[in-house]
Amino acid sequence: MIDAPIETWYTWLGIAAVSVLTLGTAAGIPSGPTPDATGVADTIDRVAADELPATAEHGVAADRIRLSPTRVSLRGPGGSTTAPLRFGPVTPATSAGSDDRLRRVLSGEPPNRVFDSPEALNRAAVESRGRYRRNPRWERAPNRLRIRSIRWEGTRVTLVG
């Protein structure tokens, strides 16, 4: 039997290299599934595309979320994913940095009780979209994301938060 003796240095070097490679591969495996940004984007698009006012919620299994008027990104232990929004732009109305009036409408208050006119609602939405377009930032993800589309005298706004 022709065999390399186990005492040779290159055998031990090969075993060490395989061990390091195996450990590196195991450490690179994500600790959980990748968050489903596409599912969140599909729910947002369904509400935004509806001709009638609509409301929906979508569970979020991620640690962080980044909303912009044209895309949604999620980050969790399994990595990060981003999905485009086809029926945008949507108006982020999260707790950090958005107009409190938009959050109240997103929570279910009628827009005519919160805003003086459809133009005032539209101005607040345009400001929020501009802020999130210029500076999209990672925020703590909620357990459930709420989406609400508003139709008020020709003004269409889709709020997400």
Residue 150: partners with Cβ closer than 8 Å, 6 or more residues away: 53, 105, 111, 121, 156, 157, 158, 159
Distance between CA 33 and CA 51 in Å, rounded?
34
> What's the pLDDT at 88?
81
Beta strands in the chain (DSSP E): 55-59, 64-67, 71-76, 79-84, 91-92, 139-140, 144-152, 155-160
- Taking only the tens place, the pLDDT of each residue in 44-86 is 999 999 999 999 999 999 999 999 999 999 999 999 999 999 9
Mean pLDDT of 80-95: 92
| Cβ-based neighbour number of residue 138 at 10 Å | 14
pLDDT tier, 24 (very low <50, low <70, confident <90, very high otherwise) = low
pLDDT at 20: 65
User: 73 has which bridge partners?
Assistant: 66, 82
The amino acid sitting at 29 is: I
As a whole number of angstroms, the distance between CA 85 and CA 89 comes to 8
Average pLDDT over residues 11-26: 66
pTM of the model as a whole: 0.79
pLDDT band at residue 135 under the 50/70/90 scheme = confident
> Residue 60 has what pLDDT?
95
In whole angstroms, give the CA distance from residue 80 to residue 78: 7
Ranges of each domain in the chain: 37-160
Distance CA 151, CA 48 (A): 11
